[in-house]
Amino acid sequence: MGSTEAPQLKIVGVVASREVTAVLDRVEAAVDGKKVNVLQVDARVDMTQRAERNWRHLVDGKFGARARFVGLDIEAGANVDVVGDICAPAKALRTSLGRSPFDLVVCDRVLEHVKAPWLAAATVTDLLGPGGHLVVTVPWVQAHHAYPDDYWRMSFAAVMLLFESLEPVSLFYTGGAAGLDVAYRVSRGDRVEVSPAIGAVEQGLFQMVLDHDENRRLLEAQPGQRHPLSRAWLPTMFVNVVARKPAKVAKS
């Protein structure tokens, strides 16, 4: 007789770029040779963001002329095709974005800067077509960075709560250092895990606790001004969620 024990929660080391490739492969399978509509939210780039993932380039390399890529941002700039606010209703944005639903929407490090992420999530969900995929990357741990302001830190559970009508496909952690391609996927057997239990996984990914005297000595050795609450070490960790909008149920 086979074991009846439930699969254990596990964390698996993966390569971040391969996770992105897997997303594009899923989109390829979903469109089945048809044209592909892709939306990147907060698409504007500047010289300080050169190390960030170039989704337009990745989509072009995967789909070529079959892809229609739209970069949306609240300000005009490089990589921006449409100026608009993702917190606006989808109906209002479709005038500029087009009526065709999107097969892939990318929200890469944007929701932490949105005043009302629940409105943005509702708009993104509406813009996705049936069977369409969503990629969300948000900081779980990161220093304050105002573009134009910094409001939120989100866990896997928070992202899935915002997009509760979507089906989780993959959850994985990534770091923030330029060129760092290490990622960690969380799963239970072959199933994506979305539960409070995944919070315990983070304890094994990063932890540095110093007592008062050791922390004081460490800070004294650092150049520059330090405040009483300072810590000399802060990790940068992002949570990445890949989710899918359910396909329409066929009418009987």
Domains and CATH numbers, the chain: 14-176+235-244 (3.40.50.150)
Averaged pLDDT for residues 61-78:
95
d(CA 43, CA 74): 9
Helix axes 55-63, 16-31, angle to 10 degrees: 50
Residue 12 is predicted with a pLDDT of 82
Give me the half-sphere count of Cα atoms (radius 13 Å) on the Cβ side of residue 185.
Answer: 20
Confidence of residue 222 (pLDDT cuts 50, 70, 90): confident
Residue 242 is predicted with a pLDDT of 96
> Would you say residue 188 has pLDDT above 60?
yes
For residue 72, list its beta bridge partners: 41, 82
Residue 113 CB neighbour total at 10 angstroms: 18
Residue 204 is predicted with a pLDDT of 67
Confidence of residue 81 (pLDDT cuts 50, 70, 90): very high
d(CA 22, CA 175): 19
pLDDT above 70 coverage of the chain, percent: 82
Tokens found for residue 212: 């008062």
Lowest mean pLDDT segment, chosen from 19-23, 46-50, 99-103: 46-50
Question: Which of 196, 180, 194, 191 minimizes the C-alpha distance to 237?
Answer: 180
> Would you say residue 59 has pLDDT above 60?
yes
Averaged pLDDT for residues 149-162:
93
pTM of the full structure: 0.86
Alpha helices in 33-130 (DSSP H): 55-63, 90-97, 117-127
Residue 127 is predicted with a pLDDT of 98
> Would you say residue 43 has pLDDT above 80?
yes
> Would you say residue 138 has pLDDT above 70?
yes
Residue 252 is predicted with a pLDDT of 39
Residue 119 is predicted with a pLDDT of 97
If one compares 10 and 125, the residue with the highest pLDDT of the two is: 125
Write the CB contacts of 106 (distance below 8 Å, at least 6 apart in sequence).
38, 39, 40, 41, 55, 134, 135
68: helix, strand or coil: strand
d(CA 144, CA 204): 24
Averaged pLDDT for residues 111-118:
95
Confidence of residue 53 (pLDDT cuts 50, 70, 90): confident
